[in-house]
Amino acid sequence: MFVVGTFYFFAIFLIFSSLSVIFSKNPVNSVLFLILAFLNSTFLFILIGAEFVGIILAIVYIGAVAILFLFVVMMLDIELIDIVFSVKRYIPLAVLFSIVIISEIVYLTVVKTVKGNLVLEPSSVNNTESIGDVLYTKFFIDFQLSGIVLLLAMIGAIVLTHIYKPSIKRQNISHQNSVTRLERVSLRNPKNGEGIDA
Amino acid sequence: MLSISYNHFFILSVILFIIGCFGLFLNRRNMILILMCIEIILLAANINFVSASIFLKNLDGQIFSIFILTIAAAEAAIGLAILVVYFRNKGGIDITKINELKD
Amino acid sequence: MLLFKLLFFIPLLSTVITYPAGLLINDRASQIISSSLISISAIVSWLCLYNYVNDDLSPFVIDIFSWILISGSYLDWSIAVNPLTLLMLTLVLTVSALVHIYSIEYMSHDKSKNRFMVYLSLFTFCMVSLVVSDNIVQLFFGWEGVGLASYLLIGFWHHKKTANNAAIKAFLVNRIADFGFLIGIALLYIYSDSLSITDIIASKDYLKSIPINFISIETDVLTISCFFLFIGAMGKSAQFGFHTWLPDAMEGPTPVSALIHAATMVTAGVFLTVRFSELIVMSDFILNFILVVGLITAFFAASVALFQKDIKKVIAYSTCSQLGFMFVACGLGAFNVAIFHLITHGYFKALLFLSSGSVIHGVHDEQDMDKMGNLFSKMKITTIVMWIGTLAIIGFPYMSGYYSKDLILNASFNLNEWGSLVYILLAIISAMTAFYSFRLIFKVFHGKYNGNYDYEKIHESNFIMLIPLFILSFGSIFAGYFFNEILSGHSPSDFWGGVIFLSNETHPHSSIYAIFSKSMITFAILLCIYMYALNLEKIANLKKQFSKFYNFLLNKWFFDEFYNKYIVSPFYNSGLILWKKIDQNIIDRLLPNGSALVISKISIFCKKIQTGFIFDYTFVIIAGFTFFISIIFYFAIL
């Protein structure tokens, strides 16, 4: 009973906050509602029993991605305007499509269920332990690959946003190594009392 | 309705997915919203995977949802970098100005 | 034997090598080559005739080569050697050779002399193959060939729009008549099962005995097929109803008019009628029909020629009228007289045309007679030659026209009931002939000069142009006397030998009628002298008084206007409607243009989908996604 109630509470809150992401005027508010959505889904995961995934969701999504969003939203100069009139054309169609898909899905799951009634059972295994069992053994290569993907993302972000200023002093090792004597040293023969001009 | 079954979570994830999809084109304001809607979609997929793995007593779903997390973070980073560069070049992220796919 | 074959091959050779010779050497060479080749063939034709008469041969056929395979047997390209064809060939080849020589000088300023000579030689070849053919298909080939050459030559100056229109008109009117001719050929072939003329003539009794129902008229095959053959002859010889092309054909150069529309092509109709004379006499209806048509044509053409202004048109209508005379002779059963008149007419009509060409050349291409006059002092030889031709055409005693015309008049007594009426009509028409012929002479050569060209610059023509005139005037004077004994003297069947039908009836010359006809002609000449040589102001008054009658005659009985309004315009308008309204508007708009438009409209519509905004694209993606989900859903339910 308690499970059902909490589930519905968090589920409705999740849906409400994701709707607010789209329909709020202030983009900062949108990001904040996104954070709320992530939070709710974390709670849902913990309710089910996948607490490791839930906490990871909280750390990564809320702690990194949403902060990133906040940074960008606050850094860029975004105008606060209301929904433009021309969106209203699409709303009826959108409502229609969503009703169609949701009703189909509901029909499929409720009327013609495939795998019977799957119920929630309390499990005796610790979620973190069991994930740790599998992640570094069976899914080791995938784990490493995801690390490489993150490396790529980091490099990509830097490459995209890097501004090259030619006036900044920097080293070009290969260039320095390929210098010849003729470019650097020149012999002069100054007379007494005279200097070298250029 | 007396006990939660997999169907509830499945319908929830579908609803979230639909919201995310329609949020993609129902915004006429700025482009950050697009990235946020993508995050909502990925969240919906995550809920589906995790609930399926719990109800089917298989751990593969949760492992995969960790990887989804990784990829979502990477993609959000790159997407925001592109957005920043675009803002640098165009001076705004008004979505009605981004129509250069047209001839 | 070889001599006869040469008759056929020399014109063919001339046609083939003239144009390349003109291109390779120069224009003068093509003129000389074609003229000399045709002259050689003319001499050969006279030799052939002489040989035939001397050796007293009987008609035979030479086969040249096999042409078409029809139902198991070959149709041959052949030369029929008999008095009729040899006689026609002498006329055709002589006049053609003289016209070739004449046009060396007449067309000397034209820039396409080469083309002209080729067309003349082509015409000669087609006419020869028409005349010598023994089967109907070769005759039809020659028939169409001369029609084609006539089209090419009338429209020779193709930069003139009037010439082009006249050429098309000639070809079209001929075509309509040829349709009748083809029906006649088909009928003859179906019922006599042979295409050879001798075979068809041999089966004449059989053809007469088969009844046939043609548009609810009960006749026999012979009558119907002869009727259609005569329709073809009417078209070629410009008889009443089919005559509209002949005056417009004067748009071509004068040598063309002399050759084609005086001496040879228009006589092809008469030749056809005489060739099938054995068939035609079996049907009284056809004989009467030919007679009536000939009479009407002769009267009509003579009436129109009375007041024409253009010098060549007067001579053209005169030709039309004389052809009517020839058909009258055929209708009276006197086919040998018709051929006789054909030959004499060929000579003096060609003479008249060529000398009018000399006149036109002299006054620097002016054809309106109102602007000529008093040319006698400047062009003496042309004047004398034209007087000779005119005297020949009116039948001045002992000139050539005298013999043939009088024989036709006398032959009208072959008819039992209407003979005297026909005689009187013919006499009146001869009087009209005399009137307009002398009118031409007086307006052109005598009186006062009132033209625009400088009078002092008018000169006599070159001697190359005069040589054919001399030869033709010699023919005009003596051809009548020369051929009279042979063709229709006391025993014509000695000469003809059964090739054409000869009536055995002889009638005495009724002297009252002869006096009547001679006095009519004299009266006409005196009237003409009174009106044109002496009293010019009275003519203007008379014109005003009888203006309606004058206009009617001047505008050729409004025939062209009538044809235009009731025949040409409906076809033209219906063609226009079918083209503009139905073809363009409906069919073209719906099918090719419409389908192209639909595709372009669809593509414009599709282009609007590409707005460039990504959210529109995502909408489309999601819409498609919904669609596929629905499909999977429906498959999952079923």
Does C127 score more than 80 pLDDT? yes
User: Within the 17-56 window of chain B, which residues sit less than 8 Å (CB to CB) from chain A?
Assistant: 18-20, 22-23, 25-30, 32-33, 35-37, 39-40, 43, 46-47, 50-51, 53-56
Cα(B64)–Cα(C72) distance, integer angstroms: 93
Burial of C127 (0-12, 13-18, 19+ CB in 10 A): buried
CA distance A85 to chain C (A): 15
Which residue would you say has higher pLDDT here, C223 or C584? C223
Count other Cβ atoms within 10 Å, centred on residue C419.
Answer: 18
Q: Looking at the DSSP assignment, which residues form a beta bridge with residue C63?
A: C78
Burial of C496 (0-12, 13-18, 19+ CB in 10 A): buried
B99 has a chain C CB within 8 A of its CB: yes
* Residue of A90, A93, A108 with shortest CB distance to C633: A108
Per DSSP (E only), the strands in chain A are none
Measured over all CA atoms, what is the biggest interatomic distance in chain B, rounded to whole angstroms?
57
CB-CB neighbors (< 8 A) of B65 in chain A: 53
Q: Tokens representing A62?
A: 């809320």
Cα(C446)–Cα(C374) distance, integer angstroms: 4
- Region of poorest pLDDT, from A18-32, C33-47, C140-154, C365-379: C365-379
C636 has a chain A CB within 8 A of its CB: yes
Nearest residue of chain B to residue A128 (CA atoms): B62
Q: What is the pLDDT of residue A83?
A: 47
Does C450 score more than 50 pLDDT? yes
B98 has a chain C CB within 8 A of its CB: yes
Using CB atoms, list chains with 3+ pairs below 8 Å to chain C. A, B
Cβ atoms of residues C601 and B81 within 8 Å:
no
Q: Among C452, C267, C461, which residue's Cα sits nearest to residue C371?
A: C452
DSSP state of C348: H
CB-CB neighbors (< 8 A) of C637 in chain A: 107, 112
Cβ atoms of residues C252 and C154 within 8 Å:
yes
B95 has a chain A CB within 8 A of its CB: no
- At position C77, the amino acid (one-letter code) is W
Give C294-334 pLDDT, tens digit per residue. Answer: 999 999 898 888 888 888 888 999 999 999 999 998 888 88
CA distance A89 to chain C (A): 11
* Residue of A97, A104, A107 with shortest CB distance to C622: A97
Contact check, Cβ <8 Å, B73/A41: no
DSSP state of C262: I
In the numeric block, the tokens 């969503």 are attached to A98
Cα(C3)–Cα(C54) distance, integer angstroms: 15
Contact check, Cβ <8 Å, C618/B25: yes
Inter-chain Cβ pairs, chain A and chain B, closer than 8 A = 215
Cα(C163)–Cα(C171) distance, integer angstroms: 12
CA distance C610 to chain A (A): 16
**Paired sense of beta strands C217-220 and C60-70, if any:** unpaired
Q: Tokens representing C109?
A: 């300023």
User: Within the 95-114 window of chain A, which residues sit less than 8 Å (CB to CB) from chain C?
Assistant: 97, 100-101, 104, 107-108, 112
Using CB atoms, list chains with 3+ pairs below 8 Å to chain B. A, C
CA distance C576 to chain A (A): 53
Nearest residue of chain C to residue A91 (CA atoms): C619
In the numeric block, the tokens 């053919």 are attached to C133
Nearest residue of chain A to residue C629 (CA atoms): A101
Mutate to test the interface with C, among B14, B35, B102, B103 (most CBs of C within 10 A): B102
Give C510-566 pLDDT, tens digit per residue. Answer: 677 777 777 877 777 777 777 766 666 666 677 777 777 777 777 777 777 887 788
B21 has a chain C CB within 8 A of its CB: yes
pLDDT (average), residues C199-218: 78
In the numeric block, the tokens 């060409």 are attached to C357
CA distance C169 to chain B (A): 60
Cα(C257)–Cα(C150) distance, integer angstroms: 9
pLDDT (average), residues B47-52: 93
Measured over all CA atoms, what is the biggest interatomic distance in chain A, rounded to whole angstroms?
107
Using DSSP's 3-state secondary structure scheme, residue C340 falls into helix
- Region of poorest pLDDT, from B89-103, C137-151, C173-187: B89-103
pTM of the complete model beyond 0.80: no
Cβ atoms of residues A44 and A10 within 8 Å:
yes
Cβ atoms of residues B103 and C607 within 8 Å:
no
Give A38-53 pLDDT, tens digit per residue. Answer: 999 999 999 888 899 9
Length of chain A, please?
198
Cβ atoms of residues C637 and A112 within 8 Å:
yes
Cβ atoms of residues C358 and C469 within 8 Å:
yes
Which residue would you say has higher pLDDT here, C289 or C207? C289
Mutate to test the interface with B, among C614, C619, C620, C627 (most CBs of B within 10 A): C614
In the numeric block, the tokens 């000939």 are attached to C294
CA distance B103 to chain A (A): 22
pLDDT (average), residues C447-463: 75
Does B96 score more than 70 pLDDT? no
Cα(C165)–Cα(C162) distance, integer angstroms: 5
- Region of poorest pLDDT, from C45-54, C171-180, C289-298, C348-357: C45-54
- Region of poorest pLDDT, from C140-149, C259-268, C334-343: C259-268
Tally DSSP H helices, then E strands, for chain A: 9, 0
CB-CB neighbors (< 8 A) of C626 in chain A: 97, 100-101
Cα(C14)–Cα(C12) distance, integer angstroms: 5
Banded pLDDT at A81 (limits 50, 70, 90): low
Burial of C383 (0-12, 13-18, 19+ CB in 10 A): buried
Count other Cβ atoms within 10 Å, centred on residue A80.
Answer: 11
pLDDT (average), residues C162-169: 89
Q: Among B55, C560, C421, C28, which residue's Cα sits nearest to residue A121?
A: B55
Contact check, Cβ <8 Å, A101/C619: no
Contact check, Cβ <8 Å, C610/B102: yes
Distances (CA, A) of C15 to A163, C27, C104, C120: 91, 15, 16, 8
In the numeric block, the tokens 């950050």 are attached to B32
Cα(C278)–Cα(C498) distance, integer angstroms: 9
Contact check, Cβ <8 Å, A100/C630: yes
CB-CB neighbors (< 8 A) of C613 in chain B: 95-96, 98-99, 101
Contact check, Cβ <8 Å, B10/A97: no
Q: Tokens representing A81?
A: 């305007």
Q: Tokens representing B7?
A: 């169907």
Does C61 score more than 50 pLDDT? yes
Measured over all CA atoms, what is the biggest interatomic distance in chain C, rounded to whole angstroms?
120
Cα(C320)–Cα(C242) distance, integer angstroms: 11
- At position A119, the amino acid (one-letter code) is V
DSSP state of C367: -
DSSP calls for C374-439: --TTT-HHHHHHHHHHHHHHHT-TTSHHHHHHHHHHHHGGGSSSSHHHHHHHHHHHHHHHHHHHHH
Cα(C472)–Cα(C351) distance, integer angstroms: 6
Cα(A8)–Cα(A14) distance, integer angstroms: 10
Contact check, Cβ <8 Å, B99/C625: no
Using DSSP's 3-state secondary structure scheme, residue A120 falls into coil
Nearest residue of chain C to residue B25 (CA atoms): C615
Mutate to test the interface with B, among A1, A26, A35, A57 (most CBs of B within 10 A): A57
Does C393 score more than 90 pLDDT? no
CB-CB neighbors (< 8 A) of C623 in chain A: 93, 97
Q: Tokens representing C486?
A: 């042979």
Cβ atoms of residues C315 and C352 within 8 Å:
yes
C490-C494-C497 Cα angle (round to 5): 135
DSSP state of B30: B
Burial of C162 (0-12, 13-18, 19+ CB in 10 A): exposed
CA distance A163 to chain B (A): 10
Cα(C32)–Cα(C29) distance, integer angstroms: 5
Give C329-348 pLDDT, tens digit per residue. Answer: 888 888 888 888 888 888 88
Inter-chain Cβ pairs, chain B and chain C, closer than 8 A = 34
Cα C301 to the chain's mean position, in Å? Answer: 15
The ipTM, to two decimals, is 0.89
Distances (CA, A) of A195 to A182, A183, A184, A188, A192: 21, 21, 19, 10, 8
pLDDT (average), residues A158-175: 87
Q: Among C612, C96, A107, which residue's Cα sits nearest to residue B11?
A: A107
Contact check, Cβ <8 Å, A109/B19: no
DSSP state of C460: P
CB-CB neighbors (< 8 A) of B15 in chain A: 15, 102
